[in-house]
Amino acid sequence: MKKIDTIPNIKDPIKYTNWLGPCINDSESPLVFYMSYNCNPSDCIVFSKVLFPEFFLLNDYVFARVAISPEAAKKGMEDSKNKKFDEESFNQIYIFELFDGNKIRVDDDIAKDIGKIIAFSWDLSLKKTFPDRNFVVNYIDDESNYGPIVNFYEIRG
């Protein structure tokens, strides 16, 4: 058997691997087994809104609702001196900010893997939603920028 990962180099979190231990037999899916005991279905739906965001168009620019509200994008683009730069910075999320309200510290490696997963899914979502347009999705891992960041912008003529 050959294992093929959709998103390479994403490690199973220690919480998951420690929990599994001897909990399952070979006929059960460890992921489904873990989820059935540990994951809230509503949280899965909420996080899917990050992975596969709602997009909106403003003056032919594409924005992800998870990154910026339509009102803030409209105001920002009206005041913009560099629309390409603003498109990229408005369509940006800081991974650690997704979990700011959480009482536990987010492990750096987990945050990096979440960033890679979000970048992968944004790339797929943009290609599926806007097949005739060309986007760049960036995963940036820079400690000087408050940890991992994901953003995107459209390549224009």
Per-residue model confidence as pLDDT tens digits over 56-65: 999 999 999 9
| 90 in Cβ contact with 76 (< 8 Å) | yes
Same domain, 58 and 118: yes
Asked if the model's pLDDT at residue 43 lies above 90, the reply is: yes
In a domain, 1, yes or no: no
Radius of gyration of the chain (CA): 18
Which of 56, 81, 60, 78 has its CA nearest to residue 68?
56
Asked if the model's pLDDT at residue 143 lies above 80, the reply is: no
Is the pTM here over 0.95, yes or no?
A: no
Rounded CA-CA distance 140/32 in Å is 31
In a domain, 4, yes or no: no
Rounded CA-CA distance 143/96 in Å is 11
Same domain, 103 and 147: yes
Which residues are bridge partners to 62 per DSSP?
57
Backbone angles phi, psi at 49, to 5 degrees: -70, -25
pLDDT band of residue 27 (cuts 50, 70, 90) is low
Q: How many domains does the chain contain in total?
A: 2
Region 29-36: mean pLDDT is: 83
Region 8-28: mean pLDDT is: 76
Same domain, 19 and 81: no
User: What's the pLDDT score for residue 21?
Assistant: 67
